[in-house]
Chain A
Amino acid sequence: MTALTIAKSINAGLRRAMDADAKVLVMGEDVGRLGGVFRVTDGLQKDFGEDRVFDTPLAEAGIIGTAIGLALRGYRPVCEIQFDGFVFPGYDQIVSQVAKMHFRSGGRLRLPITIRIPYGGGIGAVEHHSESPEGYFAHTPGLKVVSCASPADAYWMIQQAIASDDPIIFFEPKRRYYEKAEFDLDQEPDLPLNASRVVAEGSDATLAAYGPMVKTCLEAATAATDDGRSLEVIDLRTLSPLDLEPVYASVRRTGRLVVVHEAQRTLGVGTEVAARVTEECFYSLEAPVVRVTGYDTPYPPARVEEDYLPDLDRVLDGVERALSY
């Protein structure tokens, strides 16, 4: 067993992927000598050389666009986008090119590209550094979108993402980068990449979350026991495709679902989850699906972010609404 933070687990996963396959490249702004602004790629350039781990010009369209070319030439690029809010100069390359190449080529061309994006708020940052843009990508056919919430998942999911022949948008919960947990680096992963998982069992209501909000939901579930409530928590892990079987199974038992994410509410991941659960579990539901999310505003200044972001109290408030319906 090794105790690692999420940041160090991704680093270890990148290392293993690079050791396993000489075609794996790491590219982005400041990923080389600096090791990334969050140090996720720390030491990789030193160990794998400047051909495989390189600092790119400051241009996100270039990072994604050249990764496409490298992938066409047989490489497996792992692109780092420095912060969530800076992916948009590369958005055209992602949604019009990365997402569609396999489709357009009738399956002849594959783009095994992993695009890592530290995302989410709660770190007191200035604008553009705390956003949750996952919905834009999950809405785009051709992209697979995942987010890790624990060190073990970070370690395995990054390797599975790199091994995937489909392009993966890999969302990293930046405010949880320094959360630590023990896990076995050598034990094989218990789940494929695009699968969700129950992380706490309960019987009164179900909480579904991903990335940074999984911890918040687990804390809410612990707090709820004081009121004699038993909450089930599901880490969705994959946002596109969604894996909702565990959610359906849970809702059939609890009859109540609260979906939690930092991203704004309208047309977010929670909206899709709510629609599908309504379709699949209509007769099991005792209350409408509740969404506890960011509000439909731009991410606010840091000194009010605590009121924008779902926290333990807001999650429990959502649970109350579901239970008292």
Chain B
Amino acid sequence: MNGEAPPRPLDYLTAQGTHALEVLPLTWGVLIISLLVTAIISVLVVSGILLRRVPSGGPIPPVARTGSGMRWIYIGVGLSTIVLFGTAVWTMRVLAAVISPPAEPAFTVTVDGRQWWWRIRYHETRDTPEFITANEIRIPVGVPVRIRLTSTDVIHSFWVPALSGKTDLIPGRINETWIEATAPGVYRGQCMEYCGWQHARMGFVVVAMEGAAFDAWRASQVLPASEPQNAAIAEGKRIVMTHCCACHTIRGTEAGGSAGPDLTHVASRLTIAAGTFVTDRTTLEYWIRHPQRAKPGNRMVDPDLDLEATRLPAAYILKLR
């Protein structure tokens, strides 16, 4: 479903979402104006120097008031003012167009920032109860989704450049934004407000899917975790229940902690540790054995498990799809 990874996942000179597409021409517009202004001024400065310079080595010429030069200011400032006012008007128009979604959003997702991951709550809709997940938001293509933003600790910022600009997650406050993808795909998101040690590794993904696939995904997320199918997995589950349940919730088991991401369907997510690693056996084993090496300073302590003992919980977790 995710196809080729884009060469620059956070590039915002291209766009795949209604919000971002609306802003993109303005971005290019002011960028081109800026490049032109820089080019013009550079040419003026360099050519002025070359044309007017005193031959090197010559004596310092006397001062003279040659020409008032005021016309430079009148013309230069006049033109600049026109361009600036034009840009201001264009800015206001784009702002008005994107400040609220083009249609009533299909549903609401609350994103709660934590040092250094994202807790994600899908609000209940007419046909689905609410559920909680982490670090990955799935949305249907072609409909706006309302995103409510808040934080449990410090300020973070929610940004999926291909879909929309950023909005801060501020503790004690709820901000709102919206996203709408125009094409299916995996869109990279990133925390953009400095939030401490692992600000660098506080990413997430937005997966845009066709409507039917999205509905199927949502139906599967509501279910409790799958039961172990064999003895090894059951042993893995036992270890997880003893070592991990203080911090993680796995619905349908006794694990009900809330300091870390909900793991009920963690294996169905494309990445772990807030967009840091692709979800597979190797990364999961590494993560479970040495979370502090994998993401120094993060709030999951290194569990006291040897190499063999990390294989089993990893195997269990991989079944949590």
Say whether A and B bind each other. no
